[in-house]
Homo-oligomer: A and B are copies of this chain.
Amino acid sequence: MTRSQLFARIQSKKSYLCVGLDTDPRRIPTFLRSEKDPVFAFNQRIIDATSAHAVAYKPNLAFYEAQGARGWESLQKTLEYIPTDCFTIADAKRGDIGNTSGLYARAFFDKTAAGLDFDAVTVAPYMGRDSVTPFLDFPGKWVILLALTSNPGSEDLQQLRITNYELRITDDETQVRRSQLRIEQPLFERVIQTAQTWATSDQLMFVVGATQAESLTRIRELAPDNFLLVPGVGAQGGSLEEVSKYGMNAQCGLLVNASRSILYASTDAHFAEAAGAEAHRMQQEMTRYLDAYLPV
């Protein structure tokens, strides 16, 4: 799915909601646990109830891997069940040396390899360019690079201050002077800048946690065109309005994820209706923000 196709879906659904399919078998309602594949049975009902209000779905791989081979099968069935007009994200946070990242790319993008055909995968930047670029070899597929995450540990590395030296040449009447200008910036800003030398905004998004809304103005200066995947609204406490106000660009440029607040809106037999109602509530809020903040 291209960037303009994604924006067209956002406009037609008046929503930039991504539903995080972080399905914990221990939190599936009791009456579904006798199903052959309870995780898939749960996901089916969640997708049915929310797909009118969401433009994207994002299964987090940890929840499936914790079930081993069975989990991988639930994931595959779930991905096939997601309506084709929705953008699909493997939230895998992978990253390895070049040839190995190439295999992860095949795992998530090449249906003939592992039976999966996601539109996008989340990638961790610590290993640098050759850990990221193999994912870009798949035309039409996306890398969503971790930049500034929503968790407490984001301050341990992402907020560290990097030192840059820029050469300055000044020239007055009598002589040319060379000097070094020392610039400090947080690591996540450097990640956002450097990654844009690897891919255009047609294949590269960034993860920016909703709990980091105060950084969005600066991030939009550095990455005006890239879509941002924003987790942390809902259970983690980020503000949807602030994210929308400071993060929206002319093509919306936002996919705001909610997982637990939708999946576990209710734990009884009506969990799917409750999930649908919560997704609808968020979609309606998003419709207001699209009217208010989308640049015309």
Whether the Cβ atoms of B127 and A146 lie closer than 8 Å is: yes
A239 close to chain B: CB less than 8 A: no
In the complex formed, the residue of B with least CB distance to A108 is: B65
Closest B residue, CB atoms, query A73: B69
Contacts of A138 on B, CB cut-off 8 Å?
none
- Chain B residues with CB below 8 A from A129, complex form: 152-153, 156
B107 touches A65 (CB 8 A): yes
Q: Say yes or no: A66 contacts B103, CB within 8 Å.
A: yes
Q: In the complex, what residue of chain B is closest to A162 when comparing beta carbons?
A: B160
Stretch in A1-9, A110-118, A265-273 touching the partner: A110-118
Interface residues of A in 18-43 (CB under 8 A from B): 22, 24
- Greatest chain B CB density within 10 A among A107, A127, A130 is at A127
Q: In this assembly, does A85 line the interface, its C-beta being within 8 Å of a C-beta of chain B?
A: no
Interface centre among A70, A93, A184 (most CB of B within 10 A): A93
Given A127-B154, A128-B158, A161-B162: A114 touches B191 (CB 8 Å cut-off): no
Enumerate chain B residues within 8 angstroms of A93, measured Cβ to Cβ. Answer: 94-96, 124, 127
Contact B162 A114 (CB under 8 A): no
Instruction: Say which residue of B63, B95, B131, B163 sits within 8 Å of A161 (CB atoms).
Output: B163
Q: Can you name 9 extra interface pairs (CB under 8 A) apart from A68-B116, A97-B153, A124-B124?
A: A22-B100, A71-B114, A93-B96, A127-B153, A128-B151, A128-B153, A128-B154, A128-B156, A157-B187
- What are 6 inter-chain pairs, A to B, with CB distance below 8 A? A62-B94, A69-B70, A71-B114, A127-B151, A131-B151, A163-B184
